Structure formats: structure tokens, C-alpha cells
Amino acid sequence: MDTILFNLIWVIPLFTVLACIPIPESHAKLLRGIHTVSASVVLAIVCYLTFRVYAMGSVSASEAAAPLLLRFFTDIPWLSMIGAHYIVGADGLNILLLALTAFIVWAGVLVSYNIKGNQKVFFALIQILATSVYGVYMSFDLVLFFVFYEMEALCMYLMIACYGSGRRDYGGKKLTLTLAFGSSMILATLFGLYFEGGVNSWSITELSKITLPMEFQMWAFPLMFMGFAVSSSLFPFHFWSPDGHSSAPTAVSMLAAGVMMKMGAYGCLRVAMFLMPEAAKIWLPYVVALLIFNVVLGPFIALRHKDLKYITAYSSISHLGLIFLGLAALTPIGLRGASLQMISHGFLTGLFFATIGMIYERTHTRDITQMGGIMRKMPFLGVGFVLAGFAGLGLPGFSGFIAESTIFIGAFQQDSTLTRIVTTLAILSITTTAVYILQTANRMLHGPLPQKYESLSDGCFREKLVIVVLVACLLFIGICPSWISDMLDWSIAPIFEKISAATQPVVSGIGG
Amino acid sequence: MLDLYNSTFIIPDLLLLLFPFIVIGSRLFCTAQSKVPWRIANFGFVAIFIVLNFIPLASGEGRFFISNWRIDDFGVLMREVFLISAILGIWFAKDYFEHGADGKPQMHQIAEFIGAIAFATFGGVTVVSACDMLTFFLGLEIATIPMYALTAWNKKDQLGSEAATKYILMGSVATAFELFGFSYLYGFAGSLHFGDIQQAVAAGTSPLLWVAVLFLFCGIGFKLTLFPFYTWAPDVYEGAPTPVTAVLSVTSKATAIAFLVVLVFGPFAPIQEQIAPFIALLAGTTLFVGNLGALKQSRLRRFMAYSSIAQAGYIMVALLGPATTAKTAIVYYLFVYAVSNYLAFFIFGIIGHHREETFASLRGLSKQNPSLAIALAISMFSLAGIPPLAGFFGKFHLFFSGASTGHYMLVAFAVLNNVLALFYYIQLIKSAWVEDYDGHLSPLRLTRRQRGVIVALSIAVVALGFIPFLSNNIFAGFSF
């Protein structure tokens, strides 16, 4: 029963799209209702399954050793000639990411009620996008994984170009083509994984049982890692994200920054590092050097920007840098921190973009110099924005604090000078983050209220609900992180096991 | 040799040979405006397609006419591709006989037109069935000569005549190359039969053979629009009537690819590894040049010409794999390509009936006719190879075949080129989805047939992708 429910997660959004085809475009209210119900049903299913996994996981956490412990496992032959199967399953990490996605999709649907243009197509695209993200987090077959991974490009462009604002065509094209460039690198290495692996399987669990030839790993790992890093906007592949986010409609920004950028980090962990641990050990210490730009320069650039979405985009770049710092640390605590940060950042950036979208809908500007004093008119939205900011700068009590401190502890455990230097810089850069977030909140929310904003209203019930739910999630993770980190721990254990068991003649001098 | 059981194999071929004569002959008994030839054509093609599906192929292959004519699994599937292309082609052409398009006059003589397409189809069938070089050559010419005539179908159209002249000249040069190659091959092997040639090639190579290989590839390079022989394609695609361009881009391309497949995995099988670098070079350059060329286009059919040049490059990648993998990948891709390409052409045709055939005419399509804009996005994303559409799985199989013999560099190059391709397909989608409707464009009207075909093809492009119905049937049900 649970397995069927699990498979329904990605089927329901698609089915909703099909069900809406006969409804004419003019029945916007009905369409919105159907999509909201569908997103809520998926959210309910995912929440239920998350607790199921938690309950099962706590019983058998001890047995979570070398092989992946997958719940709701489904394996059906799919494309016979290339040996692709339909393999889906969930461990602690996946199911939490699925829950994150379900929350963001649900919130995204709720904040898109006032979208201009053809709402029927817009909601259909959101649902297809949701399908692709759910699929990525569920699949344990590389072909299936890639299909879902690249499907997003199709919807993203259409959504940004048709429903976005500003330089929407430019932003959409930049985003889609850069992501396609990343996935093309991944696709090229996937063929190598299949043929060099010699097990004639695309299954991640099967492939993780073998050791791939070292010559192959040495070129394949960086390629694949780069491919995934593109979607997580690791320097120097970050250039698509500010333009893409700023021109996207609110729901797309939320999904893109909140969930899709995590797909890259998740892919790095689950595919690149898990299947090629030997090369990961050799290459990852170098990656740390790139992170200086993400972690340290990101906040400084955000400091200079006046556009709210650009500020959030650069803050996302720096937060994703922290995820990679956790991954590159190659310690269990670092990996746990990285995955905690994936989930925490998803919620906080979702909240960020949601409140920005709501404020933009009212003020029609995202330029903070044009704003001021709007707290008086929109206390609820203002508080929502400030709370997102607090979570972003890592205030204790919010999820950001737990995630970031775990990453820093994990990274410091790594016995390498470079990593320690970068970690120290990253810790110091939190100050910059605090500066730009407080400065933005201050300029936007306080001071004299311009005449033109006199008639603005606060959020309606629907908008308040979104803010309350997302804030509740942030606080919940922040106040009692133990059950989430338990779930993460036993799903990361096999990955770490594999990395630590990887015995390669590590080239001396690398990483200090 | 000709027992009763095996002789059923050849029925569709004989029907296909008779068929054009029936269609053209029907003109003797009806008026110029009569719908009879059109109905006969529809009935005939569909009937042959159905008969084709009854061939009991699990038993291997059938050989006829002193074993010069072979019907095997690959052949049957290719016949299906040719027939689908012919059916869609004549459906597409029908509108052009009712009124003109893109500033060109209405076309006439539908019966002869259909007859010519049927001959071209039979030519393709001959190529995939051939077991000796003479039949092979005849097939290629039967497939090509009707296309020359079709290109110049609009006698009053200057551009059409120019395109046809160019096509005939280029085609003749290609034929000359082919013949030269064949004669050298005969000189090398001392026989016209593929079996004997294969034995001779396996026994040892000589410079004579390499000259033959080189000339044969040059000859087919013209017809398959491979780099550097592709230059005629944009002009011919642009000059020919739109339905002819559609048929040209599918039937003619499929024939040329089938020619290469038969050659590489037949007589040249023993030296496949030695010619692999050559194939890889042709594939890489062709797809790169095609993609680069498409970037700058503003006319729809010129754009499709470059796109199809690039697609030829992608198909060539599969030729590097082992026989079974390569053949299956190519057949599957041709199905997918035919469906996606015709979907694009049907949409362009509707645009062309009311407006000029340029990118600018697509402006505001998403607001004016959202379903058509969705169909356009589906066909373009499929041609670009974005999952979960059929085009992605088609390309995946092609790359899979190339990668299975370790050509990772070429595969990586092809995959990266896909990003370039995505850029120009997105340009087209941008015109339809992002740019605003400009009041000067005349409104679009769809006939019932057009609407039906577009819906059916869109569903096919989506469903062929992730529902493994077609791919698994091709891959599992047939032994190559």
C-alpha cells in the first residue's frame, strides 16, 4: 500500500494535468482549485510516508550498513534494449527532499493564484515541473533519473519566458541552456558508467557494488560533478541563476531555488560521489578552492545589489556553496550538514521568494531603494520576510543555524589546510550575510512610507497560510533537528562507508 | 526456393510496386477534380501497412529472385517507416492541392503526385531489400528520380525550378560517384552479390577497396546531406513545395540512411572497425555544421533543412555500434524522427497557408491558438531531444549505440552539440510563445484533417517517449 502511494507521488501531478485538459481556460477558479487539491494530496501523502520511513528507520537504523536501505522499492523492466528499469525507492534523504518539494510545490501553487496570462497552461507546467523534481528524488535508475532531471528544462523555459518579468526571454534562455549544458555533461558520463561498469545495469544500487576502473573515474568524476554543479550554481557556473531567478515568476523562483538547485547537490552526493568514491577522494579537495567564490564573494555581491531577487539569488549561491563545502569535507558530519542545508535552504529560500513575490505583487517594484516603511502597511509579509532573513543568516532556533554549524564542524574535521581556511572564511562571511539581510530588511520595511504605497494591504489568508507553514517548518527543523538528522544519518552511512572504504593511492600533497 | 509460406513475405512489395500504376491509372476514369485517386491512395497505403504487419517474421528472413531480394526484420521495419512517411506526406500534401501557400500557386495533378511519392517509397523498399549491387543502385535511383520531379512540381514557381535544377545536378554527381564506387567494388570482389563481396572484403583489403569505400561514402554523402556535401539541401528544401520538402526530409533521408546501414553492416561488415574513424569524422562534422547553420535562419523551411542535416549527423553516430544495436537504434530513431518532423511540418504548413513561412509569422501563436503552440513546443523539444519526448529516447539509443564501442569522445561532442541545437529550437518556441501578436498577421484556420493529424502526432511524440511500446516491440520482438 505504501509502495503504491509512493509511486503516486509523481503520477498525481501528471494525472492532474490530463484531467484539466478538457476544462476551458475561462474556468480559472475551478482550475486553481483542482491544482491546489492535487498539490495538497501529494503533500499529505509525502508527509505520511516521511513518518513511515522515520518509524521504520528508527527500528532498523543499526542494519543500515553498506547497502542502501531503500523503502517502498519498486523495480519494473522498462526499456528492454538499453536495460533501463523503472526503479524507485526512498531512504531518509530522499523522502525528506520529497517532503521539501511537496511543501514548496504546494506553496508555489498557492502563491500563483494571481498570475497573469493563461492560467491553465501555467498550472499544468508547474505540475509537470513538480513531476520532474519528484522523479529525480525518487529514481534509482540512472536513465529514469536523467529523464526526470532534464525534463525540468522543458517547463522552465516556457514558464520563465511566458510568465516572467523583466528580461524574461534572456533569463529563461540563459537558465535553460546552461542547465542543458550541465546535463549534457552528465549524459555523456552516464554512458561511460554503463559500459565501463560492466554490469549492464543503470541501477544505482547495482553500480555501487562495483569499483569502476580508475582511468575512467578520473575523467568521468570531474565531468559529472561539473554537470551537477551547474544546476547548483557552483562557481564558475553560477551565472545563470541570478538572471534566471530574477526574471522567473514567483512560483518558479521558489521551485528553482528551493528544490531544483538541490537536485545538483543531491546528484553529486548520490550519483557522482557514491558511484565514484575513489575519484571523489582525489578531486573534491580541489573543489574546495572554487567554493571561496561561492561562499565569500556571494554575500559581498548580494550586499551591492538593489533588486530583491538578485539579492536572494546571490544569497542562494552562497548557501549552496556551503552545501558543497559539507560534501567536499568528506566526513560523516559534513555530509549530514550538507544534506541538512539542502532541506533547510529549500524552506528558507522558498519563504524568501514567496514573500518577495507577494510584496512585488503589491508594490510592483523589487528595487529596495524604491521601498521603505512598508512594514506599517504589510506587517505580516514584513515579518515573514524578516524571519526568512533570520533563518538565512543562521540565527539559532531556525534551521539555518543547525545546518550551517554542522557543516562547519564537519569541514573542520577534515584534515586539510585548504578546507580549514575556506571554512574559516565561510564562518566569517556569515557576518556579511547578516549585514545584507538586515540592511535589506531595514531599507525595505522601515523608514518613511512613500505616498504611493499608502493604499497597500497586507497578505490575504492564502498568503498568510503559506508564510505560516513555511516558517513553522523552518522553526521545527531548527528546534528539534534530531529526528531529521537521524534519518539523514542512516541514509548517508552507506555513502560515507563507500567513500571511506575507497582505497586509492591518494596522490601526495593534494588537499594539504 | 519459393515455397508458399515464404512467398507471403513479398506480397506487400508487389502491392507497393503495382500501387502507383493503379493510382495514376485511375485518372483515366475520373475528372481532374475527382477525389477518387486520393481515396485509393489512402486506402492503398494503409492496406499495405496493415499487410506488412502480418508478415510472420519470427522465422527469420525471406529471399527471392535468385536471392537478390531479401526481406528481414530490419527491412520490414524500414518499410513501415517509409509507409508512415508516405501516408503522412500525402495527407500533408492534400491541402496544397486545394489552395496555394506562402505566395505560391495551388498545385495540380494529385494522382501523379501520389504516384511519384509511391515510387519514391518503393525505391526505399528496394534499397533495404537489395542483396546485390545492381538492385541496390536501382533502388537508390528509383527513390531519387521521383524526388527530382516532385521538387519542380509547381511549374510556375521560379524558385522551385531552380531548386530542382540544383537537385538534379547534385544528384547526378552523387550517382556518378556511386557508380564509380560500385564499379571499383566489383573490380575488387569480382561479383555483384553482397555475400561474395563480404567474403572478399573479409579475406583482405586492397587500395581498390578503399577507393570504392571513399566514393560510395561521397555519393551517399550527397544524398544524406553529410558534411561537406550538404550545401544543396537548404536551397532545395526552401525551393521545393512544402509537402515535397517534408517527404524529402523523411523518406529521402531514411532511404539514404538505410543505404548506409545495408552497406556498413553488409558487404563492409568485416572492415567496420577500420572505417569507424571516417564515420565518426563525418558524423561529428555534419552535426556541428548543421547546428551552426540552423542558428542564423529566419525562414522555417531553411531552418528545417539545417536541422535535418544535423539529425543526419546524429544518426551517423549510431553506425559505430555493433550491428544489432545500431540497426535497432536507427530504426527506432527514424520512426521518432518521422513523427516529430511531420508534426513540425504540419504546423508550418498551417502557418504557410495563411502567412509567410518565417519565424516572424509564428508571433503570438500561444495567445492566438494555444493548442497549436503546444504542439509546436512538443515537436521542437522532441527534435531537440528533451525528455520525456520521443526525440530524447531516439537520440539516447543512437548515442548508446555509439558509446557501446567506446566512442565516448564523439558521443560527448554530439551531446554537447545538442545544447547548441536546443538554442535554435528554443528560438522558434520563443517566437511562438514569448513575442507578442502583431495585428498584421492573418488568422489561422485548421481543417478537421489537420487538427486530427496534429493531435494524433502530438500524442505519438509524447507517448512514444516514455511508454516503451514501440521501442520494446522493435528491440525485443525482432531479431536483427
Q: What is the pLDDT of residues A383-394, one digit of tens each?
A: 999 999 998 888
Among B416, B429, B471, select the one facing A79 at the smallest CB separation.
Answer: B471
Instruction: Tell me the mean pLDDT in the region A178-194.
Output: 92
Question: What CA–CA distance (Å, rounded) separates B136 from B87?
Answer: 24
HSE, CB side, 13 Å, CA atoms: give it for residue B263. Answer: 26
Distance from CA of B378 to the nearest CA of A (A): 9
Which residues on B lie below 8 Å from A169 (Cβ)? 430, 434
Instruction: Tell me the mean pLDDT in the region B251-274.
Output: 92
Which percentage of chain B shows pLDDT scores above 70? 94
Residue in A89, A244, A125 with CA at minimum distance from that of residue A182: A244
A37 Cβ under 8 Å from any chain B Cβ: no
Cell of A263: 537536485
Cell of B142: 528509383
Residue A253 has pLDDT above 60, yes or no: yes
Q: According to the model, what pLDDT value does residue A365 have?
A: 84
Q: According to the model, what pLDDT value does residue B470 have?
A: 67
pLDDT in tens, A332-358: 899 999 999 999 999 999 999 999 999
Distance from CA of A391 to the nearest CA of B (A): 36
Question: CA-CA distances (angstroms) from residue A83 to B321, B395, B407, B472?
Answer: 16, 16, 19, 11
Distance from CA of A135 to the nearest CA of B (A): 12
Question: What CA–CA distance (Å, rounded) separates A168 from A147?
Answer: 25
Size of interface A-B (CB pairs under 8 A): 104
Question: What CA–CA distance (Å, rounded) separates A250 from A352?
Answer: 10
pLDDT in tens, A133-163: 999 999 999 999 999 999 888 788 889 988 8
Cell of B188: 575488387
Query: Is A150 within 8 Å of B392 when comparing Cβ atoms?
Result: yes
Question: What CA–CA distance (Å, rounded) separates A344 from A338?
Answer: 10
Average pLDDT of the residues of chain A: 88
Average pLDDT of the residues of chain B: 88
Judged by average pLDDT, the poorest of B10-14, B220-224, B239-243, B312-316 is: B10-14
Judged by average pLDDT, the poorest of A290-299, A330-339, B119-128 is: A290-299
Q: According to the model, what pLDDT value does residue B58 have?
A: 52
Q: According to the model, what pLDDT value does residue A59 have?
A: 57
Mutate: best of B371, B433, B470, B480, partner A, most A CBs <10 A: B433
Q: According to the model, what pLDDT value does residue B475 have?
A: 58
Distance from CA of B319 to the nearest CA of A (A): 16
Judged by average pLDDT, the poorest of A145-149, A367-371, B64-68 is: B64-68
- Do A69 and A91 meet the contact criterion of CB atoms below 8 Å apart? yes
Which residues on B lie below 8 Å from A150 (Cβ)? 386-387, 392
Q: According to the model, what pLDDT value does residue A507 have?
A: 47
- Do A55 and A483 meet the contact criterion of CB atoms below 8 Å apart? no
Question: What CA–CA distance (Å, rounded) separates B317 from B279?
Answer: 8
Question: CA-CA distances (angstroms) from residue A198 to A271, A275, B323, B332?
Answer: 17, 13, 20, 25
* Residue matched to cell numbers 523498399: B125
B477 Cβ under 8 Å from any chain A Cβ: no
Which residues on B lie below 8 Å from A174 (Cβ)? none
Residue B331 has pLDDT above 80, yes or no: yes
Mutate: best of B325, B398, B400, B431, partner A, most A CBs <10 A: B400
Q: According to the model, what pLDDT value does residue A406 have?
A: 92
Q: According to the model, what pLDDT value does residue B118 have?
A: 94
Q: According to the model, what pLDDT value does residue B60 have?
A: 62
Query: Is A151 within 8 Å of B403 when comparing Cβ atoms?
Result: no
Which residues on B lie below 8 Å from A216 (Cβ)? none
Residue in A65, A79, A70, A90 with CA at minimum distance from that of residue A201: A79
Residue in A254, A269, A279, A237 with CA at minimum distance from that of residue A338: A269
Among A154, A162, A188, select the one facing B411 at the smallest CB separation.
Answer: A188
Q: pLDDT class for A56, splitting at 50, 70, 90?
A: confident
Question: What CA–CA distance (Å, rounded) separates A359 from A371?
Answer: 10
Q: pLDDT class for B444, splitting at 50, 70, 90?
A: confident
B379 Cβ under 8 Å from any chain A Cβ: no
Question: What CA–CA distance (Å, rounded) separates B254 from B232?
Answer: 18
Distance from CA of A195 to the nearest CA of B (A): 6
Q: According to the model, what pLDDT value does residue A347 have?
A: 93
Q: Which residue(s) pair with B130 in the sheet?
A: B69
A146 Cβ under 8 Å from any chain B Cβ: yes
Question: What CA–CA distance (Å, rounded) separates A102 from A90?
Answer: 15
Cell of B358: 518565417
B25 Cβ under 8 Å from any chain A Cβ: no
Q: According to the model, what pLDDT value does residue A166 have?
A: 82
Alpha helices by DSSP H, listed for A115-141, are 119-138
Which residues on B lie below 8 Å from A180 (Cβ)? 386, 418-419, 422
The helix (run of H) or strand (run of E) holding residue B64 is strand B62-64
Query: Is A157 within 8 Å of B472 when comparing Cβ atoms?
Result: no
Question: What CA–CA distance (Å, rounded) separates A83 from A150?
Answer: 20
Question: What CA–CA distance (Å, rounded) separates B270 from B204?
Answer: 9
Q: According to the model, what pLDDT value does residue B3 have?
A: 54
A226 Cβ under 8 Å from any chain B Cβ: no
Residue A456 has pLDDT above 90, yes or no: no
Mutate: best of A85, A128, A191, A212, partner B, most B CBs <10 A: A191
Residue of B nearest to A121 (CA): B370
Instruction: Tell me the mean pLDDT in the region B422-439.
Output: 86
Q: According to the model, what pLDDT value does residue A511 have?
A: 40
- DSSP letter (8 states) at residue A398: S
Residue A7 has pLDDT above 70, yes or no: yes
Mutate: best of B434, B437, B458, partner A, most A CBs <10 A: B434
Instruction: Tell me the mean pLDDT in the region B393-404.
Output: 93
pLDDT in tens, B278-322: 999 999 999 999 999 998 888 899 999 999 999 999 999 999 999
Q: According to the model, what pLDDT value does residue A63 have?
A: 54
Distance from CA of B472 to the nearest CA of A (A): 6
Instruction: Tell me the mean pLDDT in the region A201-214.
Output: 89
Cell of B114: 501520389
ipTM score of the complex? Answer: 0.90
Distance from CA of B199 to the nearest CA of A (A): 30
Residue A504 has pLDDT above 70, yes or no: no
- Phi, psi dihedral angles at B319 (to 5 degrees): -60, -15
Q: Is B368 exposed, middle or buried (0-12, 13-18, 19+ CB in 10 A)?
A: middle
Query: Is B386 within 8 Å of A151 when comparing Cβ atoms?
Result: yes
Query: Is A143 within 8 Å of B434 when comparing Cβ atoms?
Result: no
DSSP letter string, A242-308: HHHHHHS-HHHHHHIIIIIHHHHHHHIIIIIIHH-HHHHHHHHHHHHHHHHIIIIIHHHHHHH--BH
Question: What CA–CA distance (Å, rounded) separates A343 from A311?
Answer: 20
Residue B81 has pLDDT above 90, yes or no: yes
Residue A487 has pLDDT above 70, yes or no: yes
B36 Cβ under 8 Å from any chain A Cβ: no
Among A121, A143, A192, select the one facing B370 at the smallest CB separation.
Answer: A121
Which residues on A lie below 8 Å from B366 (Cβ)? 118, 121, 162
Question: CA-CA distances (angstroms) from residue A389 to A119, A394, A425?
Answer: 31, 9, 21
Among B328, B366, B419, select the one facing A180 at the smallest CB separation.
Answer: B419
Q: Is B77 exposed, middle or buried (0-12, 13-18, 19+ CB in 10 A)?
A: buried
pLDDT in tens, A401-436: 999 999 999 998 888 888 888 899 888 888 888 898
B325 Cβ under 8 Å from any chain A Cβ: yes
Q: According to the model, what pLDDT value does residue A308 have?
A: 87
Question: What CA–CA distance (Å, rounded) separates A182 from B463?
Answer: 26
Interface of B with A in 453-472 (CB under 8 A): 466, 468, 471-472
Residue B59 has pLDDT above 60, yes or no: no
- Phi, psi dihedral angles at A236 (to 5 degrees): -95, 25
